[in-house]
Amino acid sequence: MQYRRLGSSGLQLSALSFGAWATFGGRVARGEARNLVAAAWDRGVNFFDNAETYANGAAERVMGDVIADLRLPRDGFVVSSKVFFGAVDDPRPTQKGLSRKHVHDACHAALKRLRVDYLDLYYCHRPDPDAPVAETVAAMDALVRQGKVLYWGTSEWPAERIREAHAAARAGGFQAPTMEQPQYNLLHRERVEVEYASLCDDFGMGTTTWSPLASGLLTGKYNDGVPADSRLGSDAYAWLQRDVLGDDASRRLSRARAFTALAAGLGVAPAALAIAWCLRNPRVSSVILGASQVAQLLQNLEALDVAARMGEADWARVDAAMA
Ligand SMILES: NC(=O)c1ccc[n+]([C@@H]2O[C@H](COP(=O)([O-])OP(=O)(O)OC[C@H]3O[C@@H](n4cnc5c(N)ncnc54)[C@H](OP(=O)(O)O)[C@@H]3O)[C@@H](O)[C@H]2O)c1
């Protein structure tokens, strides 16, 4: 494993980390969840990502259970949660968002579900137009001072709002956000590369990036249709097809096919190549992997070797194929 600092903080995250969205507490049984966490840990993964909203808290409960069951040393791993969407269907106004109340309540609920005394990383999962930024910053700062959160950050906030958070932190003497969690993959790169670039330079923010495979599209598994046993094939994620395939599904699929063919020509698994591509960006602190089976995770972890083997000419071919 390779370790990278979370922006200019002193925290070292594994360059490849592992998240529980759309798997734990849902399609992935507890036994396989345990095998996945164990396999990741054994290969040096030290960051496990979660959120209150994943399977309405069930993903955190499963992750907390298996981490306790595996007896991972608390000082050896980093675990996160995120607040915003709530952990129940049809949340009431105080059960979602970024008010001081929900930030406080959601943190304590996540601590219980994950069976830990503190969260290493705590994210505001989306911006909340109904909560003043300064209130959210103060609420996060309070959790940091209470020792319940070590580093807080944002996920998919417009850069301008993140700047507002930094200004509020400066004005109030509060802890500023340390990291952003954006989507980043070969089909979705602009926000990280353009919009967020100055946040890393100006504030030393790190990034923990999600969906490196565009929910599996970049593995080639959707090249010839949607397999029934895949994420996009499951009823619960029918809505995601629109996001992943976009308005023009044939264009996204033809790019995925071109990428898969290129990977075959280079003699590497497309999944490992797509993840290695994310690692090339030095502003990426950790690429959060998702997997529903251990075999997928092991293939994805090969990205480190692939990254070491690829030369500039290979990457130029990838960029050209995806342009
Ligand atoms: N902050 C946010 O808003 C946000 C949003 C999304 C995700 N995240 C975080 O980022 C993590 C990773 O995101 P993601 O799960 O979308 O990542 P991803 O790598 O884009 O997709 C992972 C899914 O692709 C399929 N897959 C993975 N490896 C494969 C392989 N080698 N061969 C074939 N299929 C493979 C699996 O689904 P199937 O086997 O079911 O097809 C797997 O669950 C999440 O767990 C979560 O922690 C954060």
> What does the pLDDT read at residue 161?
98
Q: Which range is least confidently modeled, 135-139, 232-236, 238-242, 293-297?
A: 238-242
Compute the average pLDDT of residues 134-148: 98
Nearest CA to ligand 1 atom 24: 216
Contact 113/123 with Cβ under 8 angstroms?
no
- What per-residue confidence (pLDDT) applies to 87? 98
AA letter at 177: P
Mean pLDDT over the full length of the chain? 96
Q: Which of 231, 234, 297 to mutate to test the pocket of ligand 1 (most atoms within 8 A of CB)?
A: 231
Q: Which residues contact 281 (CB under 8 A, 6 or more apart)?
A: 184, 192, 193
Q: Which two tokens stand for residue 223?
A: 């090249």
Ligand 1 near 49 CB (within 6 A)? yes
In the chain, the amino acid numbered 50 is N
Protein residue with least CA distance to atom 17, ligand 1:
211
* Burial (CB count within 10 angstroms: exposed 0-12, middle 13-18, buried 19+), residue 302: middle
φ, ψ dihedrals at 47, nearest 5°: -125, 125
Q: Is 151 in the pocket of ligand 1 (CB under 6 A)?
A: no
CA–CA separation, 199 vs 316, rounded Å? 27
Q: Ligand 1 in contact with 181 (CB < 6 A)?
A: yes
Distances in whole angstroms, Cα of residue 243 to Cα of each of 20, 168, 209, 252: 19, 33, 17, 11
Q: Which atom of ligand 1 is nearest to the CA of 272?
A: 31
Angle between the N-to-C axes of helices 133-145 and 100-114, in degrees from 0 to 180, rounded to the nearest 10: 40
Closest CA to 297 of 266, 264, 275: 275
182 CB near ligand 1 (under 6 Å): no
User: By the 8 A CB rule, do 245 and 253 touch?
Assistant: yes
CA 289–ligand 1 middle distance (angstroms) = 6
Q: How many CA atoms lie within 13 A of 307 on its CB side?
A: 19
Which positions are annotated as active-site residues?
54
Kindly list the structural domains of the chain, giving each domain's residue range(s) and its CATH number in brackets, ordered by start: 3-322 (3.20.20.100)
Nearest to 244, CA basis, from 176, 194, 290, 298: 290
Check pocket membership of 219 for ligand 1, CB cut-off 6 A: yes
Say yes or no: CB of residue 273 within 6 Å of ligand 1.
Answer: no
**Residue-level pLDDT at 243:** 84
Torsion of CA 288, 295, 217, 45, to 10 degrees: 10
Dump pLDDT digits (tens) for 221-265. 999 999 999 999 998 888 898 888 877 788 889 999 999 999 999
154 lines ligand 1 (CB under 6 A): no
Atom of ligand 1 nearest to the CA of 182: 1
Residue 22 and residue 232 in contact, taking contact as beta carbons nearer than 8 Å: no
- For residue 214, the CA-to-ligand 1 centroid distance in Å is 7
Tokens coding 247: 């308005």
C-alpha triplet 139, 4, 182: angle, nearest 5°: 50
Residue with CA closest to ligand 1 atom 7: 210
Query: Which distant-in-sequence residues (6+ apart) come within 8 Å of 160 by Cβ?
Result: none
Q: What are the Cα distances from residue 215, in Å, to 13, 45, 161, 242, 313? A: 22, 20, 27, 12, 27
At 291 the pLDDT is 98
d(C-alpha 50, C-alpha 197), whole Å: 25
Find out whether the beta carbon of 231 lies less than 6 Å from any atom of ligand 1: yes
Q: What is the pLDDT of residues 173-204, one digit of tens each?
A: 999 999 999 999 999 999 999 999 999 999 99
Distance 197 CA to ligand 1 centre (A): 24
Q: Whose CA is nearest to atom 19 of ligand 1?
A: 213
Cα distances from 4 to residues 29, 99, 109, 211, in angstroms, run 31, 32, 29, 19
- Probe ligand 1: pick from 210, 235, 243, 268, max atoms within 8 Å of CB? 210
This model's pTM is above 0.95: yes
